[in-house]
Amino acid sequence: MLTRRTFLGAAGAAPFAVAAQEPARRTRLAVVTTEWRDRSHAWHMAERFIAGYPVRGRWHRPAVDVVSAYVDQFPQNDLSRGRAKEAGFTIYPSVAAALRRGTDRLAVDAVLIIGEHGTYPDNEFGQKKYPRYEFFKQVADVFRKDGAARPVFNDKHLSWNWDWAKEMVDTAKELRIPFLAGSSLPVTFRMPAIELPLGAAVEELMCVAFGGVDSYDFHALEVIQCMAERRKGGETGVRAVQALRGEAVWKAQAAGTWAAGGWDAALFEACLCRSQTLAQPPTYSHRYPTAAQVREWVRNPVAYRIEYADGTKATMLLLNGLVTDFTFAAKLAGRAEPLSVLFYLPPVPNVVYSAALMAQAEETFRTGVPPYPVERTLLTTGLVAAGCRSLAQDGRRLETPHLAVRYDPPRESRFWRD
């Protein structure tokens, strides 16, 4: 099992020179991205290291300089060339060239990988084949050849391919790469600002969210996982996943309990009662919807039913038309009412939630110590893939022995509180 102590020990034993930045030295960052346009993830994240971001009532300017980039695609509304001119960095024709900056040796201190958006094919399960693995592999090849490891942040899930995702984590361990990945949801604001108690006896969890499969399901699963990992015994992996769509979701909803094929109705109510975007009939507000209204407003519901190896159960619901936010609820042993919380996402254009995520990346870049284990994102990567496969197989329950991912959670969740 990976613990923080063993992780730090492994990092300290690195055979390569991991960049441990002196406080006065600015970190040289290479950005490797699919595309860079308005509202893209490069816009969300890479630009935090160009323009800074607000923290506790002041404007924080990271001691990080974007010095190079590799951009895979240039749509008509490309921003990368303009940003390069504005910030004074160079766009190179390959990942290796961006990391070496036109020389024959590694010439950056950290790498930001953003494999989201752009024109890429889907696999047979409807997953977009973003080249996150290919980007990481090219970065790791430079580290291996040049005998140096540098911190890497990977945006969102690791890959659409489970074997590749596992290889990425294994390669990071082999080369002692400080590796952080994932979603902004675990570190954004929460309303109320609460933790799931570390070591709590958790029976069942739920996230009600919106968006599409192989995209927003990942965010919702990271909501669940950043809470689930705090349960008694830490993370021990997932035994099985079943994904439902359409009428099968309403049938499960009506079942009322997990044992009957559904989920705890009290968790669903708790999630909706935390939502700030709950749909309403015309001229009404603050009305709890009827079952008939939920069915009317949500045309294509999706649910993932997740069975953890230790017996804990979790449900992820994508209910477009009912909500446009992410809420969470958990049933804890010995507690009558569910613990519930809204994972709050401030609106465009400021989207401070991406700043919250880049604050974690910045810390990793500057210290060489990721604030939470990449195994969290490895597990949610596998859950997305399993969910997509179950949907493609008409909701078949899939055994997932490969998702026996074990790790200890960080003591502090790192979500923004003020």
**Residue (of 226, 325, 232, 228) closest to 273 by Cα position:** 325
Q: Is the pLDDT of residue 11 over 80?
A: no
Residue 78 has phi, psi (to 5 degrees) of -55, 140
User: Peptide bond preceding 349: is omega within 30 degrees of 0, i.e. cis?
Assistant: yes
Region 109-138: mean pLDDT is 97
pLDDT tens profile 67-120: 999 999 999 999 999 999 999 999 999 999 999 999 999 999 999 999 999 999
**Residue (of 238, 274, 268, 272) closest to 252 by Cα position:** 268
pTM higher than 0.85, yes or no? yes
Q: Is the pLDDT of residue 17 over 50?
A: no
Contacts of 72 (CB under 8 A, 6+ apart): 33, 34, 35, 118, 131
Q: Is the pLDDT of residue 328 over 80?
A: yes
Tell me the C-alpha to C-alpha distance, in Å, between residue 409 and each of 8, 153, 219, 316, 412.
14, 18, 18, 21, 8
% residues pLDDT > 70 (the chain): 94
Region 59-74: mean pLDDT is 98
Q: Assign 16 a pLDDT band (cuts: 50, 70, 90).
A: very low
% residues pLDDT > 90 (the chain): 93
Please, what is the angle between helix 375-392 and helix 162-175, to 10°? 170
Q: Is the pLDDT of residue 14 over 50?
A: no
Provide the pLDDT for residue 23.
Answer: 53
Residue 200's identity, in one-letter code, is: A
What are the structural domains of the chain? 27-182 (3.40.50.720), 190-343+378-403 (3.30.360)
Contacts of 27 (CB under 8 A, 6+ apart): 19, 21, 62, 63, 64, 65, 109, 110, 365, 366
Assign residue 323 a region: left if phi > 0, alpha if psi is -120 to 50, beta otherwise?
beta
